[in-house]
Amino acid sequence: MCAPSCISGEDLFTMKYYRNSEVAQAAEAASLDTMIAFLEQGFLANDRGEVILPEKSSQIIDPVTQSRVNCMPCTAPGIGYSGVKLVSVFPTNAEAGKPNVSGMVLLLSSDDGSPVALLDAGYLTALRTALVGGIAAKYLAKAAPERIGLLGSGVEALMHLFVMSRLFPSIKQVAVSSRKRSSEERLVLAVKRKFPQLGVTACGGDYSFAARGSDIIVTAISGQVPLLKADWCDPGAFYCHVGGIEDEYGVALKADKVVCDSWDALKHRGSPTIAHMYRDGVLTDDMIYAELVDLIAGRKKGRETDSEFIYFNSIGMALVDVYASAFLVGECDRLDLGLELNAPEFDVFAS
């Protein structure tokens, strides 16, 4: 999949704009296995040194709520794109009925630098986060998980269910818990509508009920609260940590394996629980079993027994944004989605 030529006739460039609704339509129509395989190729390309991946710039506006604006650049010549995501994460927006996450992804051609595509980043960010969790679950969850527990009831919870339920048709039950009954009920209704094959249980704010007995546990909350307790995590469970502080220190300490997407990025710049544990001297480098690419490349084994409790946390890497955007642009174009934007030739000397 390579970036198309953007020079057309008298236009300086022609690019397309893809709205959240169009990105979502493309994702739902795509093969999940194909999308995951494409992202895995991105991890492997980066591992071989074929991706330019500068550090993410995070501008934390409120250290208490972790409201921030992130700038995430990446160039992947192998697929023909250079991209950057400018995304805002404002956890308190939910209280005002606004999206927690919004922003844009701009893709340029890595051949000539011309703009190719502009995508709304809200849906894309939620999906790519869930896809990384899905890649981890592919290697670290039980072969046939049956129950998933969602602690949190927002967009990320729904997106993780979208990915996990398609990745594991064996999932039959989903338990949902949220601090707000209205949010919990909204997610339950969405599950019934979007995933009618699943039985769904509203836990009435009882997070322990959602976690206990679940083969896959996902924490996806907008706050910074250590909700998940170690005693709630059964042997054999796979825990997918999505955001900042979402679990007590004992959860990671209980795990047989702790895996992340990029430990170096996470421990130095991250807000998740294990980053705090590292800075507090509770978690050390040698306690990290593997990074995700180690599993993809086969350098480390994933789950080895049904009794292992495994902890996964991703900090979010721009290479995933660029690879996911590239894949979804291709799917959007296949479905004839997107708005064409033309930039006429302009000569500053003639103006």
pLDDT at 169 over 80: yes
Instruction: Please give the share of the chain, as a percent, with pLDDT higher than 70.
Output: 95
Does the residue 4 lie in any domain?
Answer: no
Statement to judge: residues 309 and 322 lie in one domain: no
Residue 133 lies in a domain: no
Same domain, 254 and 284: yes
Do 208 and 67 fall into the same domain?
no
163 with 289, same domain?
Answer: yes
The pLDDT of 286-292, averaged and rounded, is: 98
Q: What is the mean pLDDT of residues 191-213?
A: 96
pLDDT band at 11 (very low <50, low <70, confident <90, very high): low
The average pLDDT across 55-78 equals: 91
Residues 252 and 333 occupy one common structural domain: no
Q: How far apart are CA 227 and CA 241, in angstroms?
A: 11
Same domain membership, residue 223 and residue 82: no
Query: Where is average pLDDT lowest: 19-33, 127-141, 336-350?
Result: 336-350
Residue 168 near residue 287, CB atoms below 8 Å? no
DSSP character string of 223-277: S----B-GGG--TT-EEEE-SSS-B-HHHHHH-SEEEES-HHHHHHH--SHHHHH
What pLDDT is recorded for position 244? 84
Structure tokens at 265: 């990025």
Asked if the structure places residue 129 within a domain, the reply is no
Amino acid, single-letter form, for residue 335: L
Provide the pLDDT for residue 140: 98
Q: Residue 7: is its pLDDT beyond 70? A: no
Are residues 263 and 195 part of one domain? yes
pLDDT at 222: 72
| Mean pLDDT, range 166-189, rounded to an integer | 95
Closest CA to 150 of 160, 140, 165: 160
- Let me know if residue 136 belongs to a domain: no
Span 256-272, pLDDT tens digits: 999 999 999 999 877 89
The pLDDT-based confidence of 347 (bands split at 50, 70, 90) is confident
Q: Is the pLDDT of residue 276 over 70?
A: yes
DSSP symbols for 90-136: -GGGGGGT--SEEEEEEEEETTT--EEEEEESHHHHHHHHHHHHHHH
Asked whether residue 268 falls in the same domain as residue 154, the answer is: yes
Q: Assign residue 326 the CATH number of its domain.
A: 3.30.1780.10
What average pLDDT does this structure show over 81-90?
A: 94
Assigned domain for 157 exists = yes
Same domain, yes or no: 41 and 158: no
Same domain, 279 and 210: yes
Q: What is the CATH number of the domain that holds 296?
A: 3.40.50.720
In a shared domain, residues 288 and 334: no
**Whether pLDDT at 310 is above 70:** yes
Q: Are residues 114 and 190 in the same domain?
A: no
pLDDT of residue 208: 97
**Which range of residues forms the domain containing residue 113?**
11-124+318-344
The mean per-residue pLDDT over the stretch 10-36 comes to: 91
pTM: 0.92
Using CA atoms, how far residue 173 sits from 157, 163, 168, 276, 328, in Å, is 14, 15, 12, 33, 29
pLDDT higher than 50, residue 28: yes
Amino acid at 83: G
CA distance 150 to 48: 35
- The verdict on residue 3 lying in a domain is no
Residue 344 has pLDDT above 80, yes or no: no
CB atoms within 10 A of CB 136: 24
- Cα 126 to Cα 102: distance, rounded to the nearest angstrom: 10
Number of domains composing the chain: 2
Would residue 1 count as lying in a domain? no
